Structure 1
């Protein structure tokens, strides 16, 4: 008999932690082999070695997961009270906190995030998300009464869609899993999640915690698969009534097109090329620190990265000088489990090479490379996918590095003259996910807020996603919102009820 890869393997990380990691598909509360038993290796981008392999799902596996989700929705989950759903979600939140160190190990291991100042924050944020939506679950189906004629009683009910699909990204595998799964279950739906084939491990670990928390079999199903197979099967499936996606704009287009087969509802959180404007009255030191954090946090692999900086001409040279000094002195690269490291490796060799190609193109088009642009000297012999934080100055709107999402630790810096020009430059993009402005002038900030075409605006601060606040974009950055009350509403549909209290024809 031919041996097959096990459904559980032991994993150990450099800090000495070890645990048994599930490798199968999670369907109906069981870890199982995929039908074709096809495997994919999960890589540690810090050293290029294989962590383990996991089973890849195809259409038949997705069909199996959807059947399980539909059966549980019809027979169990939709009949649960809001309080009962809330209790289970709260248990999941507590179990994530209890196991946060292992989950942070996984986040660091498979995505390259430094464990102690990046990965652990993502995990604890995920626990907060489950806890928040546990609170909203209690009254999730509540609607409102609407005053109409005296002879009518009119009200609304918030109802779940049924079976929902989620396609999550590799850059925040734990967080995006929570952003979709928690509100979906809180609203009374069941869910089938397709993880990225690059980072499936944290989601599989949370499945164990969900089972331990008492989540009924079939409520949560997780498959690892390629977008062209498992992703397509999920977005096209006629029994999936809602799909939530996080990833590139190009794939978002495909998801929306596939979802049209049964007009399923879509939430699409896609790419970004977010502007950061520094006015001449801003606190220079603080704007420099926040700007650096906004692009180099999570090694630039973040859709809301402040990747286009616009500095008013009167402070442009002073900003650049201090910005370069700060970046060189602040960011330390290395293995994601090494104390003091705050910038890890890129997710893959292909992604690092893609970023290097953009830097080369930027310089060719006239950008001035001030720092970065290569692997750090101390890591030159490393087999990891490291790339130094990179600053390209004197950029213009025609450059590819300004127009296209690079998704790495590369920032462009340009100058502007007037307030009107700052807003015009900020809006000169197909994206509209986030925008950042630094000024001490309240009127100036309000003018920017109302003028910029973006789903989120941050004043004197960079990336600050909060589970209580709606998250989403304008234009090609997507549609719909996640997090906050809007995140719950995204997994609900409104039913209007009209009751005749005595009117006759």
Structure 2
């Protein structure tokens, strides 16, 4: 599959290609160009040529284009979901949810088109002021492999509605659905060059986007180390940044919570997408009075998850996205066991069987007796491993929840309003769930604190971040 520049499929500037691998089988399913800095220049030129045409459309006209695209995505959601599962690995029902989520995002922004109408400020006898908002210009986006479609929507929706053009780099392991969605957008009225997709490595394509002086805003989702590098590269020019850099989300369960509901929430919150989600439950703190029962049920439910190819009916959890991702998890588990920093209640190994031999599978894993110095609690574990830590009270739970350099999300499971309020007030995170975890509707701002990044995705907050105010002063 080729890149998209100027509204058409584009040949690469060289003859190098990147294989796209099915994580469940290890088979190559397609190839995409290994883009270069010159390809980024071509995309920026196309975005620049398209900007004034796209900017002149009213926000309502741009919203209708997004709405039409959402309708086609809904019509084709099954085929798009199969493509997403084949390149990413997640179960088909999760891919369907993600494709529908992309349509939801486009529909949300279409629904608020016209929200930025400007304002008249009466200044009295000296005159009046008209404050309007205008697009920034050419924007850049770099999206990850774990939720490539949803996160594409988070960036494309507000950027295009605000009147910007966009140069976007998908992850090299999951570019195909992004390219297919861009083809759909190009068929419903985007000015050619409004949305350009350049495939290729982060160290070439990603850094070229970050450094380019014509790109006025860059939105990046990925890990902290790469985010730091992107920030350094972007510092050579004046551009706005949105950085979503992951998290180590805590889940706190108090004794008055519905235990069965909380166990189900922990299973879904940790093992959805094989644990490869920024807002996944990564550290589970359970009140010691219910910890034994909770751990027993958690172990049973984890062992009941059906591991397999995401395209197979009945699969609960697919493979990890790559061999590298699985190797990272295995190294961490081995360190925990070698250092005696935790007890594996279930999982901890690759599954046995011929059907798992070629894919990047790893069993759902639950770990107890975890020491505070363990990497399971001190970093972001991007895989199906859940550490369970008993705590004596809410004070301790909140202290442990905040024992991280991240601050993306957190959840509290309780039927006590005061307890929920304390968690909201005292946990350092950008979003706090009560008796739920993981869901992020397009209407609400999403982003973190500390090393979880800068800025917010979603909602009116994201739309405003893709525009700037401009004021006309009128004298009488």
Band of TM-score, shorter chain:
over 0.9
Deviation at 1:154, TM superposition (A): 2.5
Cα deviations by residue, 1:411-453 (Å, 9 ceiling, x for unpaired): 1111111221111111110000000110110001101100000
What residue in structure 1 maps to residue 115 of structure 2? Answer: 139
Answer yes or no: is 1:283 the counterpart of 2:258. yes
Correspondence for 2:102 = 126
Q: Distance in 2 between matches of 1:152 and 1:255?
A: 44
- For residue 54 of structure 2, the aligned residue among 46, 59, 77 is 77
1:204 is matched with 179
Between the two proteins, the alignment pairs up a number of residues equal to: 475
Give the deviation of 1:139 after TM superposition.
Answer: 3.4
CA contact (8 A) 2:308 2:356 kept: no
Q: What does residue 408 of structure 2 align with? A: 433
Residues 99-123 of structure 1 show CA distances to partners (whole Å, capped at 9, x for unaligned) of 11111011100000111x2101000
Aligned pairs for 1:51-130 (under 5 A) are 51-74=29-52, 76-115=53-92, 117-130=93-106
- For 2:369 and 2:122, locate their aligned partners in 1 and report how far apart those are by CA, in whole Å: 59
1:199 aligned counterpart, secondary structure: coil
Counterparts of 1:438-457 in structure 2, within 5 Å, are 438-457=413-432
In 2, Cα distance between the equivalents of 1:310 and 1:411? Answer: 11
Whether the aligned pair in 2 keeps the contact of 1:27 and 1:68 (CA below 8 Å) is yes
Conservation of the 8 A alpha-carbon contact between 1:165 and 1:191: yes
* SS class of match (1:377): coil
Aligned-pair CA distance for 1:137: 2.6
Match of 1:362 among 316, 336, 344: 336
Corresponding residue number in structure 1 for 2:191: 216
Q: If the length of structure 2 is used for normalisation, what is the TM-score?
A: 0.98
Partner of 2:392: 417
Q: Compute the RMSD of aligned alpha carbons.
A: 1.2
Once residues 335 and 381 of structure 1 are traced to their aligned partners in structure 2, the CA distance between those partners, rounded to angstroms, is 9
- 1:46-96 per-residue CA deviation (whole Å, 9 max, x = no partner) reads 00010011112110000000011011103x011111121112111111111
Q: What CA distance in whole angstroms lies between the structure 2 residues aligned with 1:203 and 1:213?
A: 16
- Corresponding residue of 1:18: none
* 1:117-196 mapped onto 2 (5 Å cutoff): 117-140=93-116, 142-196=117-171
Name the CA shift for 1:498/1:339 in 2 (closer, same or farther; >3 Å). same
TM-score, structure 1 normalization: 0.92
Matched, 1:347 2:324: no
For structure 2, the 5+ residue unaligned runs are none
Supply the distance in 2 between the matched residues of 1:162 and 1:389 (Cα, whole angstroms): 45
Cα deviation for residue 362 of structure 1 reads 1.8
1:481 aligns with 2:456: yes
Please tell me whether the aligned partners of residues 273 and 307 of structure 1 are also in contact (alpha carbons under 8 angstroms). Answer: yes
Partner of 1:33: 11
Q: CA deviation at 1:144?
A: 2.6
**TM-superposed deviation, 1:131:** 1.0
- Which residue matches 1:10? none
1:304 and 2:279 are equivalent in the alignment: yes
Deviation (angstroms), 1:380: 6.7
1:369 to partner: Cα distance: 0.4
Contact 1:244 1:268 in 2 (8 A): yes
Structure-1 separation of matches of 2:258 and 2:326: 33
Please name the residue that 1:337 is paired with. Answer: 311
Match of 1:49? 27
What's the counterpart of residue 374 of structure 1?
349
SS at match of 1:430: coil
- Gaps spanning 5+ residues in structure 1: where? 1-22
Question: What is the CA-CA distance between 1:38 and the residue it aligns to?
Answer: 1.3
Q: Give CA-to-partner distance per residue, 1:355-409, whole Å, 9 cap, x none.
A: 1111111223320100011122245752001001101111132111111112000
Q: 2:249 maps to which residue?
A: 274
